């Protein structure tokens, strides 16, 4: 008499379909989670690169602005007791000087030839042009500080600020004399840059900074 084979039972078509559906759901959820993590990681990299580029640009601009107004004969512009007056610094001008500049070129100069004359190679400036910040190195020589392929600068503002400290005179000043007593002019420039990533316009960052110009000016004099 032959032995009876043991009863075997496989998966039904319904169970197979349910299992496949659950597997697909888990796979889709895992894929979505992975895609979201990759997207977040990519965005963080874009944000970090954009912020680093903006900070580097601000540092370069502030470093150059710090030397605005340098004059090799600066001692001639400092009032001393017993002197009739001072010689004006030919490199002291900032344009514009009293208001924020967010559209026009911000111009300044510094002494390079030490001839007390503003030469073409002593003209400097900063401007926003076609979404890029440019630095002027001599008349007509503009160099880009930002890479248009990486970021687009949407706002660039430079705001000059002036503080005056009054000096004491041995003799009193005449009434209504605007040039007496002499005053030391301490100047600074505040900077603000806003930019967005070229490959992801939703990533927007801003940086701010300020710098004090190393070359203070003196205006006015005491009575002789």
15 inside domain: no
**How high is the pLDDT of residue 127?**
93
Number of domains in the chain: 1
- Only one residue has tokens 């600074």, namely 188
> Which of the four pLDDT bands, split at 50, 70 and 90, describes residue 44?
confident
5 inside domain: no
**How high is the pLDDT of residue 131?**
92
What rounded mean pLDDT belongs to the chain?
Answer: 82
**How high is the pLDDT of residue 193?**
95
- Region 30-34 average pLDDT: 75
Strand partners, 161: 188
Token reading at 193: 């840059």
What is the three-class DSSP state of 56? helix
> Which of the four pLDDT bands, split at 50, 70 and 90, describes residue 13?
confident
Flag whether pLDDT at 63 surpasses 60.
yes
**How high is the pLDDT of residue 151?**
93
Token reading at 104: 């026009």
pLDDT digits (tens, 9 = 90+) for 177-224: 777 887 888 889 999 999 999 988 899 999 999 999 988 777 777 776
**How high is the pLDDT of residue 1?**
52
Q: Does 115 or 5 have the greater pLDDT score?
A: 115
- How far apart are alpha carbons 137 and 168 in whole angstroms? 40
37 inside domain: no
Flag whether pLDDT at 27 surpasses 90.
no
126 inside domain: yes
Token reading at 105: 């070129």
Strands (E), 4-112: 106-109
21 inside domain: no
End-to-end CA distance of the chain: 141
155 inside domain: yes
pLDDT digits (tens, 9 = 90+) for 106-152: 999 998 877 878 888 889 999 999 999 999 998 889 999 999 889 99
Task: Print the SS3 string covering the chain.
Answer: CCCCCCCCCCCCHHHHHHHHHHHHHHHHHHHHHHHHHHHHHHHHHHHHHHHHHHHHHHHHHHHHHCCCCCCCCHHHHCCCCCCCCCCCCCCCCCECCCCCECCCCEEEECCCCCCCCCCHHHEEEEEEECCEEEEEECCCCEEECCCCCCEEEEEEEEEEEEEEEECCCCCCCCCCCCCCCCEEEEEEEEEEEEEEECCCCCCEEEEEEEEECCCCEEECCCCC
**How high is the pLDDT of residue 57?**
95
Task: Give the rounded percent of residues in the chain with a pLDDT score beyond 70.
Answer: 85
184 inside domain: yes
Among candidate residues 161, 100, 152, the one with its CA nearest the CA of residue 126: 100
**How high is the pLDDT of residue 15?**
72
**How high is the pLDDT of residue 40?**
72
159 inside domain: yes
Among candidate residues 97, 102, 88, 67, the one with its CA nearest the CA of residue 162: 97
- Would the pTM of this model clear 0.85, i.e. be above it? no
> Which of the four pLDDT bands, split at 50, 70 and 90, describes residue 86?
low
Strand partners, 193: 156, 207
Give the pairing of strands 217-219 and 183-197: antiparallel
Flag whether pLDDT at 78 surpasses 60.
yes
Strand partners, 166: 183
Q: What is the residue range of 161's domain? A: 44-219
What is the three-class DSSP state of 128? strand
């Amino acid at each position: 008499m032959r032995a009876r084979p043991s009863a075997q039972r496989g998966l039904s078509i319904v169970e197979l379909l349910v299992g496949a559906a659950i597997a697909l759901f888990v796979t889709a959820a895992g894929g979505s989670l992975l895609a979201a993590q990759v997207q977040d990681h990519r965005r963080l990299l874009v944000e970090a690169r954009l912020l680093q580029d903006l900070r580097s640009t601000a540092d370069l601009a502030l470093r150059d602005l710090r030397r605005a107004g340098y004059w090799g004969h600066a001692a001639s512009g400092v009032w001393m007791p017993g002197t009739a007056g001072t010689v004006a610094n030919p490199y002291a001008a900032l344009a514009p000087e009293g208001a924020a500049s967010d559209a026009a070129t911000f111009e300044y100069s510094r002494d390079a030839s030490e001839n007390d004359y503003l030469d073409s190679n002593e003209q400097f400036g900063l401007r926003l042009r076609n979404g890029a910040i440019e630095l002027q190195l001599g008349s007509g020589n503009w160099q880009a500080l930002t890479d248009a392929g990486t970021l687009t600068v949407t706002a660039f503002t430079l705001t000059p600020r002036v503080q005056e400290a009054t000096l004491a005179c041995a003799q009193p000043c005449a009434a209504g004399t605007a040039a007496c007593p002499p005053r030391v002019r301490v100047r600074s420039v505040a900077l603000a840059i806003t930019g967005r990533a070229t490959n992801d316009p939703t990533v927007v960052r801003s940086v701010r900074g300020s710098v004090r110009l190393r070359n203070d000016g003196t205006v006015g004099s005491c009575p002789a």
